[in-house]
């Protein structure tokens, strides 16, 4: 049975554990630094098994040795945002957590693929990649799938149609400079630009860019976790070979899009091998400029933290 370790048994980690167990037929190890918490969640989920129709195992632990032999390591440990904070405000505290978790987990599962959820996402993915020693195709950050889900939701809502009809794409960083691409959005094959006025599209783009902040405001003490967990579960299913998808993710770039030594959201083919291919889009000048603003913002954020893995 495939084995997935989730580091961080908070709201995102525990929701992801539940999704993986119930939908994707995998065993889960849930690790957290907090005493008893992962054991409590695992016990609760094991008891729910008798009501949920699956027979998978979940272990809750504080000990990295229990994670040995995992196929996928997911990092969801760290602090979430509070109202008024940007994702970048979390850099220094979360960087130390992510680097330590990566090193400890990979030492016990050297063949695993690594999926990062902790924010600021692209910076944490980059640091985790550097700390892991893994080849670039085995490391990725979950954000594009989530941002795209938000974009699709807002489009579906504006047109009062089912999300089933809506296909869309968001690239760039998982921050205020993210790049939703209306030119690549369609509703049952019809370009979004033929269905909505420019102003309405701009509103949807803006709400997507600040979709996370809107929820931080509403939650008051924490950030989104249902959609992030659902997005991560989808990516784990790809890594376990249950499906192969073309989706956006933050991955180490080594020349694609003219970017070197940086993790940022781009479309990729994700499958059992990991990042099987980066898809290079033929961006227009404004799209390219927006993507480059995203790259610049990220380079600055990475500068403040990369000494931690050097």
The 66-85 contact track toward ligand APR, x by CB under 6 A, reads ----------xxx-xx----
Closest separation between CB of residue 260 and ligand APR, Å? 26
**With CB under 6 A as the contact rule, which of the stretches 9-17, 39-47, 148-156, 279-287 interacts with ligand APR?**
9-17
Q: What does each C-alpha distance from 80 to 125, 216, 236, 278, 282 come to in angstroms? A: 16, 9, 21, 29, 35
From the list 223, 234, 250, 294, which residue makes contact with ligand APR (rule: CB under 6 A)? 223
Residue 208 CA to chain centroid, in angstroms?
15
Report in angstroms how near the CB of residue 72 gets to ligand APR at its nearest: 16
Q: How buried is residue 13: exposed, middle or buried, by Cβ count under 10 Å (0-12/13-18/19+)?
A: buried
The 3-state DSSP class for residue 189 equals coil
Nearest to 93 by CA among 77, 116, 107: 77
**With CB under 6 A, what is the number of residues at the site for ligand APR?**
27
Q: How far is the CB of 194 from ligand APR (least distance, A)?
A: 35
Residue 8 binds ligand APR, judged by CB under 6 A: yes
Task: Give the H or E element holding residue 275.
Answer: strand 274-278
CA angle 91, 94, 96 (to 5 degrees): 105
Of the residues 137, 174, 188, 206, only one is catalytic, namely 174
The C-alpha atoms of residue 295 and residue 126 are separated, in whole angstroms, by 13
Residue from 117, 201, 232, 236 binding ligand APR (CB under 6 A): 117
Candidate segments 32-40, 163-171, 179-187, 254-262, binder of ligand APR by CB under 6 A: 32-40
Handedness of CA 231, 233, 238, 242 (dihedral sign): negative
Min CB(263)–ligand APR separation in Å: 15
Annotation says 174 is catalytic: yes
Rule CB under 6 A: which residues touch ligand APR?
Answer: 7-13, 32-34, 37, 76-78, 80-81, 94, 97, 100-101, 117-119, 222-223, 225, 228
């Amino acid at each position: 049975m495939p084995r997935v370790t989730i580091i961080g048994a908070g709201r995102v980690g525990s929701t992801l554990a539940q999704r993986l167990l119930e939908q994707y037929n995998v065993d889960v190890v849930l690790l957290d630094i907090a005493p008893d918490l992962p054991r409590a969640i695992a016990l609760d989920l094991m008891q729910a098994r008798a009501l949920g129709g699956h027979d998978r195992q979940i272990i809750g632990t504080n000990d990295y040795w229990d994670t040995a032999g995992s196929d996928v390591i997911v990092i969801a440990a760290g602090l979430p945002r509070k109202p008024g904070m940007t994702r970048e405000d979390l850099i220094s505290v979360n960087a130390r957590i992510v680097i330590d978790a990566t090193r400890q987990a990979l030492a016990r599962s050297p063949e695993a693929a690594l999926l990062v959820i902790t924010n600021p996402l692209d910076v944490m993915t980059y640091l985790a990649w550097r700390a892991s020693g893994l080849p670039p195709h085995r490391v990725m950050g979950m954000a594009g799938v989530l941002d795209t889900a938000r974009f699709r939701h807002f489009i579906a809502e504006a047109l009062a149609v089912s999300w089933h009809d809506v296909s869309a794409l968001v690239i760039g960083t998982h921050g205020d400079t993210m790049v939703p691409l209306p030119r690549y959005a369609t509703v049952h094959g019809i370009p979004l630009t033929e269905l909505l006025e420019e102003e309405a599209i701009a509103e949807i783009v803006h709400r997507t860019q600040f979709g996370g902040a809107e929820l931080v405001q509403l939650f008051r003490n924490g950030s989104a976790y249902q959609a992030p967990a659902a997005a991560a579960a989808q990516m784990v299913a790809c890594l376990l070979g249950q499906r192969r998808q073309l989706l956006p993710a933050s991955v180490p770039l080594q020349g694609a899009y003219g970017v070197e030594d940086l993790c940022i959201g781009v479309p990729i083919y994700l499958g059992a091998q990991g990042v099987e291919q980066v898809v290079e889009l033929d961006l227009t000048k404004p799209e390219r400029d927006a993507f480059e603003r995203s790259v610049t913002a990220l380079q600055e954020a990475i500068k403040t933290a990369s000494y931690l893995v050097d």
